[in-house]
Homo-oligomer: A and B are copies of this chain.
Amino acid sequence: MSKKHKKRIVKAGLPPETLVYTGDRAQTPPVVHTIAYNPDFCNTFNDYRPEKAAPDRNLWVDVLNISDVDFIKTVGEQFNIHPLALEDVVNTQQRAKMDEYDNGLFIVLPHIRYDERWVELQFEQVSMFVGQDVLVTFQEDPDDTLQIVRQRLGEASNRMRKKGTDYLAYSVMDSIIDNYFVALDKIETSVFEVENSIYAASNQHFKAKIFSLKHTLSQFKNKVQPLREAVARMHRTDCPILRQEDAVYLRDIADHVAQVLDHIDNFKDQLINIESLYQSEISNRMNNVMKLLTVISTIFIPLSFVAGVYGMNFENMPELKWHYGYFFVLGIMFITMIGMLIYFRVKKMI
Judged by DSSP, the binding face of A is helix
| Segment touching B, from A57-65, A69-77, A92-100 | A92-100
25 contacts between A and B (CB under 8 A): A8-B185, A15-B159, A16-B170, A17-B159, A82-B248, A93-B259, A94-B259, A95-B259, A207-B276, A211-B277, A218-B266, A226-B258, A282-B287, A286-B287, A289-B291, A300-B304, A304-B304, A307-B311, A309-B333, A310-B313, A312-B326, A313-B317, A314-B322, A314-B325, A316-B324
Contact of A296 among B152, B302, B309 (CB under 8 A): B302
Instruction: List the 9 shortest-distance A-B pairs measured between CB atoms, nearest first.
Output: A307-B308, A314-B326, A310-B312, A12-B178, A5-B185, A293-B294, A311-B311, A304-B305, A207-B280
**Closest-CB distance, A127 to chain B (whole angstroms):** 13
Whether the pair A179, B12 counts as a contact (CB closer than 8 A) is yes
**Closest-CB distance, A272 to chain B (whole angstroms):** 9
Whether the pair A171, B16 counts as a contact (CB closer than 8 A) is yes
Contact of A311 among B255, B281, B308 (CB under 8 A): B308
Contact of A277 among B1, B208, B290, B325 (CB under 8 A): B208
Q: Is the C-beta of A182 less than 8 angstroms from some C-beta in chain B?
A: yes
Whether the pair A273, B214 counts as a contact (CB closer than 8 A) is yes
Bound together, the chains give a CA A255 to CA B283 distance in angstroms of 43
Whether the pair B215, A181 counts as a contact (CB closer than 8 A) is no
Residues of B within 8 A of A320 (CB): 312-315
Whether the pair A316, B325 counts as a contact (CB closer than 8 A) is yes
Additional A-B contacts beyond A2-B185, A303-B308 (5; CB < 8 A): A211-B276, A211-B277, A289-B291, A310-B312, A311-B312
Q: Is the C-beta of A323 less than 8 angstroms from some C-beta in chain B?
A: yes
Whether the pair B313, A174 counts as a contact (CB closer than 8 A) is no
Residues of B within 8 A of A252 (CB): 16, 84
Whether the pair B301, A330 counts as a contact (CB closer than 8 A) is no
Whether the pair B298, A301 counts as a contact (CB closer than 8 A) is no
Number of A residues near B (Cβ < 8 Å) is 112
Residues of B within 8 A of A319 (CB): 314
Whether the pair B95, A248 counts as a contact (CB closer than 8 A) is no
Whether the pair A277, B93 counts as a contact (CB closer than 8 A) is no
Q: Is the C-beta of A117 less than 8 angstroms from some C-beta in chain B?
A: no
Bound together, the chains give a CA A283 to CA B49 distance in angstroms of 64
Bound together, the chains give a CA A292 to CA B292 distance in angstroms of 12
Q: Is the C-beta of A6 less than 8 angstroms from some C-beta in chain B?
A: yes
Residues of B within 8 A of A184 (CB): 5
Residues of A196-210 at the interface with B, using a CB-CB cut-off of 8 Å, are 201-202, 207-208
Whether A251 contacts B99 in the complex (CB less than 8 A), given A13-B148, A298-B292, A307-B308, comes out as: yes
Q: Is the C-beta of A80 less than 8 angstroms from some C-beta in chain B?
A: no
Residues of A11-25 at the interface with B, using a CB-CB cut-off of 8 Å, are 11-13, 15-17
Residues of A206-257 at the interface with B, using a CB-CB cut-off of 8 Å, are 207-208, 211, 214-215, 218-219, 222, 226, 248-249, 251-252, 255
Bound together, the chains give a CA A311 to CA B283 distance in angstroms of 40
Which residue from chain B places its CB closest to the CB of A302 in the assembled complex?
B300
A77-119 interface bits toward B, Cβ cutoff 8 Å, 1 = contact, 0 = none? 0000010100010000111010101000000000000000000
Residues of B within 8 A of A282 (CB): 283, 287
Q: Is the C-beta of A265 less than 8 angstroms from some C-beta in chain B?
A: yes
**Closest-CB distance, A262 to chain B (whole angstroms):** 6
